[in-house]
Structure 1
Amino acid sequence: MKEDFLHYIWQHQKFNTANLKTTAGETITIVSVGQHNTNSGPDFFNAQLKINNQLWAGNVEIHIKSSDWFLHNHEQDMAYDNVILHVVWEHDTNIYRKDQTAIPTLEIKHFVEKTALKNYHKLFYRSTKWINCEHDFKTIDDFTIQNWLERLYFERLERKAKDINQLLKTSKNNWEAALFKMLAKNFGLKVNGDAFLSVANSMDFSIVRKLQNNQTHLEALFFGQANLLNSDTQDAHFQSLVKTYQFLKQKFALNSNTNTPVLFFRLRPPNFPTIRLSQLASLYSKEHNLFSKLNQTNNIEEFYELFTVETSPYWATHYSFGKASKKSKKQLTKAFVDLLMINTIIPIKFAYAKYQGKPIEDHVVALMQCIASEKNSIIEKFNTLKQTTTSALQSQGLLELKSAYCNKNKCLQCAIGNTLLKK
C-alpha cells in the first residue's frame, strides 16, 4: 500500500462515505475533502467535516499507519495543530496535537471500494513490466490519451522554459546569446552536445557578433575553441584556419583548455563535429539576428528555409582534415532541422512568449503537429502497445510520460492511470 493511493482515495472519494465513523465511534460527514497539498505540511488544506454533527474546518493528514504521525514528528510541528482528521489505512495508536488534544482518526480500509482496491493492485503489483499499465494501455480511449499527451508536452515545455531562464542569466539576459548556446548544444546532438555547449560557453557572444561577416573566421573560432586545430596536419585549409585562430585567440584573449573534448567515435560522417561546426558557422554568417528572425517566423516551411545552410566549400570533399572524400553537398537535412525545432526553437519561442506574457500555446501545437514523430526505442515500444503518435507533439508527450510518470510510478497523478483505476 502506498500513501499516494490513500491521497487518491480521499481526493476522489473512492470509499463508502455514507456511514463513516472515527476509531472512537464518532460519525463523519464530508462536506469538502480540501485542497491537495503537494508541498510540506498537511496533505489536504481547508477541508470541512461534520464530526458528531459539529462542523469543523481545517486540514487532513494521511498516513499508512497512525504511528507514522510520531515517526514524522508531527506532534512537535505547529503546522499540524490545525489537523481535524487523521486518515489512515491501519490504526495502531492514538495520536495527539502538540497541546496533547486527541485528533479524530478514520481507518479507511473498512470503507474503500473493492473495485478501486482491485484496480490499484492490478496496476502496481505486476512484475517484469516495462510500464505499470502496459497490458491495459491499449484499452484507453484515444481522446484521453491525446489530451493527456498534449498536457504532458506543455509540462515538458514549462520545465525547458525554466532551464532556458537559467541559461539566460548566464548569458547576461541576452536572448540571442542564449539561443546560440542552445543551438550549439543541439548541433552536437547527444554525443557532442556537452562539448559544443562548452565551446559556446568559452566565448562571449559579442565575439560571434563581430565575426559574423566572415564565415571563415567564425569557423576558425569554433574549430579552435573545440581543440580541433591542435594536430600537425599538413593541409592548406587546416593551416589557414590555424593561422586565423591564433590571431583571434590573441585578439580576444580566448582559452580553450577547459573545454570538453569533441568525439568522432561511433558517429556517422554527416554528424562529425567538423561538419556540424562548419554548418553552425555558416548559419551565423548567414543570419545576423537569428533570435529576432525566429520570433517573426511562424510557418514551418519558413523555418526550413531559414535553416537552409551548408558547410563551407572545403567540407564538400572532406569529413575530416586532410582526408579527401567524394564530393557531396553537406546541407542541414529536414530531419535535423526538426530536431532543432523540437529541442531549441520552439522551447525558446515558448520561454520568450512567457517572458512577455503572451500566450502562444495554439501556435506551438500547430507547429509541433507539422513535425514528424521522433523515432526511438521508447516511442516504438509505446506504439507496440497502441499506435499513438502521428507527430512530434505526441512523441514528446510520450517521452515525458515515460520519464516523469511511468519511471517514477506516478500512475495516480497520470490521466491514464486514473482512467484504469476508475474502471
Structure 2
Amino acid sequence: MFPTPLKSEASWYELAYFAERAGVSIEHICATVEAATQVARQSTSAHKGGNYQPVLPYENDLDAVIGALRDDGFDLEIKDVQWNESQHPRDDDGRFTNGGSHLYRGALADARIDRTYIVHPTIPPAQYSPPLREMTADQALDEVLKKGRELRELAVQRQVQDAKKGLSKEKLKAAKELLSALQQQVTSNEAEKDSLRRRMEAVGKEVQRQGAIERAELKDIATLRQILYVHSPAELNVRFDTIPGKNMQPLTSNHLTEAALTGSEEIRRLVSEHLYIGDIYFERETRPDTRSNYEYGGRVKLTDEVGTRIVVHEFGHALEDLNPTVRQKVLDFRTKRTRGEGFLSLQSTNSAFRPDEVYKKDRFLDAYMGKFYIGSDDTEILSMGLEYFHSDPLTLAEGDPEYFKFIYDLVRGK
C-alpha cells in the first residue's frame, strides 16, 4: 500500500506528523522534502561514511501519500495554499502551534508512538530561519552579553512592577494554601463563602499574572538562543524502534515522545551539519531512582518527568560518544581546565548525587561540568554546555566566556 521510494510505513506518519506540528499543508511539506533531498544527494560526502539515506517521499508521490493517509483514517483536507506567516502562531519557544493545519489535530496521538519508529525531525524553511551570517565565537559572545543584559534589565523592571502590584511567588503559594484551608473550614455561612470566593478570584488573577511573567522570561531565553543557532542544521536520525538483542523499553506517552522530538529539533538548530551524529534511539528509563541518562551506542533513556532541556543535555553525550573528534576536543578542554585540581565529592554539593560521583572544581559555573566518570573518559562538558546554550546562555557567557566560546566553535565543527 505504501509505494517506493519509502523505506518503511513509518515515513508516512512522519510526514503527517510534521505537517500537523508545523501547521502547513501536505503539499508544502512534500515540496520541502523534495528540495532537501536534492541538496542532501549533492552533499552526501559531507556525512561521515556517506550513509545518508533519504527515506521521505518525493514530490511526485503526493497522490500516493494523500491516498495512503486517507485509507488509514486520517481526516485530510488538501488545499493548494500559500504560506502565510501571520496565520501560523508560534509558542514562547518560537515553534508553531496548531493554527492553519490541514491535518485533524490529535489524529496521530497513538500512531506517533505505536507506528512511527523512525523519525527524521524535519523543519520546513518557513519554520527555521537560519542566521544571515555565521558569527565568530567572540562575536556571538558579545552579542549574547549585549542582548542578554538588555533583556535582563527589562526583566528587573518587570520584577519591580511585580513587587509593586502584587504578591511574590512565595506569598502567592502561601495565600493559595491558606485559602485552601479556609475553604475546608467554611460550612453554611453565606457571608464567609462570598468573602472566600472574592479572595480566591484575586489569587486566580495573581496566578495568571505570574504566568505571564514566566512566559516573558522564557521568551527572553528563546531570543538569546536564536543568536546561537547554526547556519546549516545537523542531520539527525532519531529512532523509536529497538536495537536487536537489546532490552529496550519503548516510550509510553505522548509527553515523552514530544520531548524527544522537540529536543531533537533544538539540537538540529544548535549543532552544525558538519558534525556527524548517527542514529539516536530513544527509550524509556524504567529503573527506580534513576535519572535520565545516555548509554553507549546512541541510546537516550528518558524518565517520565523529562523535558526538552534534559533531551538536549543527553544529546551532548551522544555527540561525544559517536564522534571521536568531538570526544578528543572535549577531553583536551577538560584536561586543560582541571590540571592540578583534586577530586571532590559531588554529593557534597547536592545530596541527590551518589557517594561515588566525583568532580574537579576549576572555575566551572556548575560542579557537574567538572564531573569525572571513574574508569571512563566520558565527560559532562558538551552536555552541560548545550544545556546552558538552550536554557541559560547569558549565565554561561558572563560566568565562563572561555567555556562559551569553546562550545560555540565545537558544535560548528571547528
Note whether the superposition's TM-score is higher than 0.5: no
TM-score by length of 1: 0.20
Question: Greater Rg, structure 1 or structure 2?
Answer: 1
